[in-house]
A and B are shown apart, each in its own frame.
Chain A
Amino acid sequence: MRCRVCRQPAVIEIRRHNAGFCHECFAKHCRDQVARTVESYSMLSGDDRVLVAVSGGKDSLALWDILLRLGYQADGLYIGLGIGDYSSESAGYARRFAASRSARLVEVDLPGDFGFDIPTGSRAAKRAPCSACGLSKRHLFNSEALKGGYQAIATGHNLDDEAAVLLGNVLRWDLAYLGRQQPVLAEGTGFVRKIKPLVRLAERETAAYCVLEGIDYIVEECPMSAGNRHLGYKELLNGVEETSPGTKTAFLFGFLDKVAPLVGQVAAAERESLHPCPICANPTVSGTCAFCKLAERASSKP
């Protein structure tokens, strides 16, 4: 197989593009896809400071690398979740990447700074671990970005993540979640802008980008994600993609082009009804926010 661009031997085949790429042309393709996404959704302006949520995994480190290479003022945010050896190992990958690029890494430690870890919090709140983890991270991404004066928080959600979430939301016809499923969520009172610059790259591509560019990332999966519903959705979609390349792209971008503008009103109405949490002042739909409730339950658990 030859590179579609330069005709040198290919190192990766992207079946949905019906194309192979050599190392250099593939890396350029990835960066071009991110640059195109940032521009087409008006995610960042040249002066914006962006905080990149990094886990030590392939997506977030690829994203941080690409944003730095594109010339953005991008710092990293690592959140220690207290998931045993997995957390200490993943922190090492984030720190080594930051050191290698002379980039700034902001660190928050859930057990040290808030008095609970994800295993304890999920048990105390009777939430699935991924649910407790997700709400804690979303809360801390926003509050740390606000605290640091960043204009945007960037997450490494890729095409597969977004297609899997979309499938889950469609299966339940969850209009509020569907309304919020956008590559960019504008800033508002108490909210920093949230951006997902990797939505045009599949996770196989972000992993390939890391391998080819020498970005060392944690390959092992989080031990608490076993049985996660989204993993099942991803396997389902990959089964369809295997026989019909391009399906995931058509599913996600068809939604973003044709349906998201219609359901966006639901999310806009929900935002109107938000008010500050009495404990942390982050926006919430009712009373104390979900993160403060989780922290309260986790710390009162014997």
Chain B
Amino acid sequence: MKVLLRNPRRALEVPGPVTVASLLAHLEISREAVLVIVDGTLVTGDSLLDDSASVEIRPVISGGCV
């Protein structure tokens, strides 16, 4: 599957099927720090992603001044 990461923007190929939770664990990304978006909608950690999925892992942590 194609996996899009942001900040910096980059793309990865990851073999499926795999659950969202496993994908994040594999990439060592905290579940608290991202949303996972497939075909424009959000998916939960137990969702199964197949090999043809196009997945965006979108960071949600914003910094700077508060």
Q: B64 contacts A1, CB within 8 Å? A: no
Comparing A31-39, A100-108, A227-235, the segment that makes contact with chain B is A227-235
Q: Using Cβ atoms and an 8 Å threshold, which residues of chain A touch B46? A: 1
Does A124 make an interface contact (CB < 8 A)? Answer: no
Q: A130 contacts B35, CB within 8 Å? A: no
The interface residues of chain B, by DSSP majority, are classed as loop
| Measured CA separation A1–B41 after assembly (Å) | 15
**Total number of residue pairs linking A and B with CB closer than 8 Å:** 95
Contact with B along A191-212 (1 / 0, CB 8 A): 0000000000011101110011
Contact with A along B42-54 (1 / 0, CB 8 A): 1111100000000
| Closest A residue, CB atoms, query B61 | A234
Does B65 make an interface contact (CB < 8 A)? Answer: yes
Does A295 make an interface contact (CB < 8 A)? Answer: no
Q: A222 contacts B64, CB within 8 Å? A: yes
Q: Using Cβ atoms and an 8 Å threshold, which residues of chain B touch A208? A: 35, 42
| Closest B residue, CB atoms, query A202 | B32
| Measured CA separation A293–B56 after assembly (Å) | 44
Q: B64 contacts A225, CB within 8 Å? A: yes
Does A57 make an interface contact (CB < 8 A)? Answer: yes
| Measured CA separation A203–B46 after assembly (Å) | 21
Q: B35 contacts A234, CB within 8 Å? A: no
| Closest A residue, CB atoms, query B6 | A219
Q: B61 contacts A160, CB within 8 Å? A: yes
| Measured CA separation A137–B37 after assembly (Å) | 32
Contact of B30 among A131, A212, A242 (CB under 8 A): A242
Q: Using Cβ atoms and an 8 Å threshold, which residues of chain B touch A239? A: 30
Contact of A137 among B35, B41, B65 (CB under 8 A): B65
Q: Which 7 A-B pairs have the closest CB atoms?
A: A134-B65, A225-B64, A231-B63, A207-B60, A225-B63, A238-B32, A130-B65
- A12-B35, A203-B61, A211-B41 provided; 7 other pairs, C-beta below 8 A? A12-B44, A23-B41, A57-B62, A134-B65, A137-B65, A164-B66, A228-B64
